[in-house]
Chains A and B, each alone.
Chain A
Amino acid sequence: MALLEFRGLRKAYGRAIALDGLDLDVEAGVFTVLCGPPRSGKSVLMRILVGLERPDAGRLSIDGIDITHVPPGRRRLSYVPQSFALYPHMSVRDNIAYPMRLQGAAAREIHRQVDRAAQILNITHLLQKRPDQLSGGEKQRTAVARGLVKDADVFVLDDPLVGLDFKLRERLMDDLRAMQAELHATFFYATADSLEALTMADRLAVVEAGRILQHDETEAVYDRPQHEKAMQIVGFPRCNFLDGTADGRGRCETPAFAFASEAEADGALPQGDIRIGIRPEAITVTDAPAADHLSGIGRVRLVEDLGAETVVYFEIGSETLVTCHPVGTPMPLGYDDAIPIAIDPQHVAVFDRGTGRRVGRGVGNGHA
């Protein structure tokens, strides 16, 4: 049984629907990331979980016990909010110790735990300072430390790294990941950043417009997105989408390519209006494509050199696609240069354009 269960949660603010009958199970001892665009309902779900908001309908339980109406203080949850909310009138040490003080822990135990958390987050030298003397990253680490000292069933982190600079974010991601592994704790983490999600998550739940689109192992979500939006939300650079049609006998056409498709395990062959998704890294630049690969000649429109990889926007058959490569891939890189590209059909996902659901994937280039 899952540790956390959300069932049919609904929440609306006036006419704006934040949660639209959301169901989700979060397993114990697992780092679960809730990933979705801004205003998709992540924060509302987190706030309902910790008890700061009441759902309009639905219920939630921890360990099988319904907590829908349990006051926030009795939920045995630890919460790191999006804003740091460090108390300006307390030192960093007192801020971190705060949840334990409220729980009535012994002074010596508090001291020990605070030192440990401070050491993990590398803020031992800041313990005597006041929050207004800290930089953004230091405040963030203090807030995380405060969230971690508490003896809790679930650690709830609501986008705690938003707004930090890249290097610091990367370090804190590693720290959080290591900490979760060390404590065997249950982490429930919300973010809008797919890089954060992919880096840290054991399991990934993709949320959009107040519903869970897909919840699975992180690799599964990335490799086999079950919904067009899930593919769009998780991944960087942005995924390529092409509109096309399918004839219901396996053949799909888009302005750029035509290809052969197969159905998902339990469904029919794609038919009617479809949208196909291709991740940038699935597009390779090669003069000698494999026999069954989709291939074509693109025209370079824009090149972004990111250091470790190069992102190329090119035009093919009236569509603009994006591809990325490790630096060193030989290719012409000037505006309007012709590049030969190839795509493994296995990496072409086919979605129904009406529902957004996945209905199939590519199997060949249709020439065979």
Chain B
Amino acid sequence: MDLRELLDKKQFIFLDGAMGTMLFEKGLKMGDIPELLNITKPEWIIDIHKQYISAGSDIFYANTFGANRYKLAKSGKSVEEVVKAAIDCAKKAAEGTDALAALDVGPIGQLLEPAGTLSFEEAYDIFAEIVRAGKDADLIVFETMTDLHELKAAVLAARENSDKPIITTMTFEQNMRTFTGCSVSAMANTIGGLGVDAIGVNCSLGPKELMPVVRELAENTDLPIVLKPNAGLPDTVTGAYSITPQEFAELMTELIPLGVKIVGGCCGTSPAFISNLRKAFAGKRYVKQQFKPFSVCCTPANTVVIDQPRVIGERINPTGKKRFKEALLSNDIDYILSQAIEQVHAGADILDVNVGLPGIDEKQMMVRVIKALQSVTDLPLQLDSTDPEVLDAGLRIYNGKAIVNSVNGEERSLNTVLPLVKKYGAAVVGLCLDENGIPKTAEERFAIAEKIVSRAEALGIGRENVFIDCLTLTASAEQEGVMQTLNALERVRRELGCQTVLGVSNISFGLPSREIVNSNFLTMALTKGLTLPIINPNIDAMMQSVRAYKLLANFDKGSKDFIAAYGSAAPQQKKAAEPADVDLPYAIANGLKGEGAKITEKLLETQPPMTIINELLIPALDKTGADFEKGKIFLPQLIQSAGVAQSCFEVIKSFLLKSGAKAESKGKIVLATVKGDVHDIGKNIVKVLLENYGYDVIDLGKDVDCQLVVDTAREQGVKLVGLSALMTTTLPSMEKTIKLLREQYPGCKVMVGGAVLTPDYAKEIDADFYARDAKESCDIAKLVLG
């Protein structure tokens, strides 16, 4: 019998208990690699498996938890050797019984980007290697996972390299989150969509403490639920666990009504726990959780349930935006991030991401932008592209459950996009158009919606995951079409029960006072049942319509959100001083960002951009720099002033782009935190300051490969490279980078900085300059580049 049959035929499935706890008793030292015992002490491992099998485990975990490339690196053994030995032990132990041996896979032990340095792709490779080595196991278990992204890489590796059943469990703390901040709902909605056979929780807490975690899980999944808790809570100092096998088994039975199907024990448990579990569960019946599918998208820390209108921000899109196009062409990811952050602050729930532009590699850009966005915002993303390859790459890398924008009624689209949606467990926007274009009438659009839903359902994509877009036409061109859109939307909502999407802003194209038309059309659509308006949340009138509607339609209970946004209880917005009261130097000195931008706009009406930069901005910055050196102001204030200057530069840049001119650059500088180093706040502060002095900074980020610095500097013809390192262990990377620069790109100046550097050491590793702080790095730039 395999796992799938067991799930069908048995009331409950019993797993094993702890391996580590048993190994310590046999004499394993703390800090040792337990997986090597598969080779050196196979008799220990076989004995432990046998004890669990005779205690009643239907499934036991082979001793492969940490058998990955990274953890075995210094052991002299390969993953294949260790995993094969472990599966051999397991097979020997199971001989003559029905027990199933699981390939047991734990976290790699390195955090993925952006928290750590491991890339998603590397994580995938590491897991794929283990899965292939463990091909003789009966099933694959991923357990004790705390990072959703890592678990997603693991599940994809298993699905693409094996056809064995998969069980996944993550580890949650008392705050209902994993160590990396992943929620139970995010796990259920992300991993549940990837085609695993059972999902659950293990480790960290005892059965009693895990009850709320299991409850939340049952509300978010239809899959069989796995529960493998610790023997209560450990003492922080002795490490001893708190409950007996009898207490454990008793507490576990209390979780049966929540839908628990597969049970076992984690740290501190032993065969006695499993035999007691067997006894306590005997005669009890499995109670499947009552689960009703609902529409949702998520990131690890933010689950957005679409049980009321949710705003999709439309600003990450180059269509009709010169500045955005320029950002895409020049790889200016920071500008794209600024567009995201503005929408987050304005109140968007979800962000649409469209980076399609002729002349760029859309697939590569989509992956880069998703990674960058997910490192700075928790909002779920809607991946917007017409190219299935771009969608595939984006869905793969996305951390959470995404929305795909979009599929339509055309055969080609249905056949290419829907399988991706299914594979990655996403939701999808279905556009009501097909080979014949956009139908005129509501009836015809409804028919296409119906077709999309039925095709999705045929592939196993529930209609809760299909969001229908009845398409907004421009009122000035097709006035009679407006109500057709709204009537189709109403029918979709009522008759198909799907969520509805609508790009709102198109409606007013070609009309004056577009905001009036947009916000009123939005309200009309909301009353017809629009749940996912795609709008510009930075326009107050739009968010006002949404918030007012939610209040009036009784979604915003007690008007809480409305009052928070507009009521007197809200923190008083700093009253923007009139530009007349404040001049640019004052705004910069006092960190008044909004004012700085406004004054710059005003000044541009009468003065040439370069005059503003050279006669106002730079002198003001120099003054704050001097104040900082004298100790009159401190670093946060210097950064704030720089931030104001940056917003002024941004205004000038947009102005120049509109007039067709190119912003003048004072020169390019490459910045990088060296290989192995992940502390990059210092480098980022330097970047902000340099940019505000008018330099173009090419920021390579942290943990940057030495050769990449050289290649970038050479390709871009850069005259100054800035390197930062915070740890003594990463200084050799800095030295190596400088050495490579000297060999391959002589003439380029290098400045270095970071907590562990000294002027002497900078000289020793052949740097041209040592920058004590961010201000000094600007002085150096001035010296080198002018």
> Is the A/B pair a real complex?
no
